[in-house]
Structure 1
Amino acid sequence: MLRIGEVAARAGVSVRALRYYEEQGLLEAARTPSGQRRYPESAVGRVRFVQQLYAAGLSSKDVLEVLPCVHTGVATPAMLARLTKQRDGIDRQIAELTAARERLAEIIRIGEQHVPAPA
């Protein structure tokens, strides 16, 4: 079992984030007789996964709904529609960022060809 600080450090999040996840029902902790939180080793992977879902633009409510589906493989049509919409939005962002990166690379190449030689 891991202490809250250990999970936070391993997962790369703050202790406050872990408390928030627990409040939202995204993470469960056992309590010692003195009230300290103890997490299983699997909590680190779960927190990282939650972070990925947040980074993908899902809300706490969506994440809470998705997590059981990851384990059971069962999803509602409405959830699948939301996730598909979210994925499509990420695909659009990736395409836009890729185009911007390619344009910047082109500008850099052009600029490098016109750099004055040192005197």
Structure 2
Amino acid sequence: MLIGQLARRTGTSERRLRYYERVGLLTPRRQVNGYRDYDDDAEQTVAQVRALLAAGLPTHVIRQVLPCALADGSLRPCPGVVDTLRSQLARLDQRADELARARQTLQQAIALAERAG
């Protein structure tokens, strides 16, 4: 299928699909005229990439994890993947803690402003 059709089927822009290709997440064939030609499984791959991005994984981690992704969206154990995911989870936990502290600071500032006003 052509890039426009894949974009419509997945709700992903053509620009984003080209980006996925550039970072190694999608690998279309090229037709004689240079058009990208995606396999039927590209639709599922795009869904998996989007789900992993939504989970907070950067594309370099997704590139490592994607070969381990199953059709249902889960991941089968692959060498090195669990350690990579643990490391990413630790980064997300750290960011969550930082956001929680920032949120608390804003709540306190708002409360003080409301009392003063």
Q: 2:113 aligns with which of 100, 111, 114?
A: 111
CA positional deviation for 1:74: 2.4
Q: Which residue of 1 aligns with 2:12?
A: 11
Over aligned residues, Cα RMSD in angstroms?
A: 3.1
1:67 aligns with 2:66: yes
Measured in 1, the distance between the counterparts of 2:49 and 2:88 equals 20
Q: 2:85 aligns with which of 83, 86, 107?
A: 83
Q: State the 4+ residue runs in structure 1 displaced beyond 6 angstroms.
A: none
Q: TM-score, normalised by structure 2?
A: 0.67
Measured in 1, the distance between the counterparts of 2:26 and 2:17 equals 8
Consecutive unaligned residues in structure 2, runs of 5 or more: none
CA positional deviation for 1:43: 5.0
Q: Which residue of 2 aligns with 1:22?
A: 21
Contact 2:28 2:37 (8 Å CA) reproduced = yes
Contact 2:48 2:69 (8 Å CA) reproduced = no
> Which moved further from structure 2: 78-87 or 34-43?
34-43
Contact 1:30 1:37 (8 Å CA) reproduced = yes
In our comparison, the structure showing a higher alpha carbon Rg is 1
CA positional deviation for 1:38: 4.2
CA positional deviation for 1:102: 1.3
Q: TM-score, normalised by structure 1?
A: 0.66
The share of aligned pairs that are identical, in percent, is: 29
Q: Secondary structure at the match of 1:11?
A: coil
Contact 1:11 1:45 (8 Å CA) reproduced = no
CA positional deviation for 1:84: 0.2
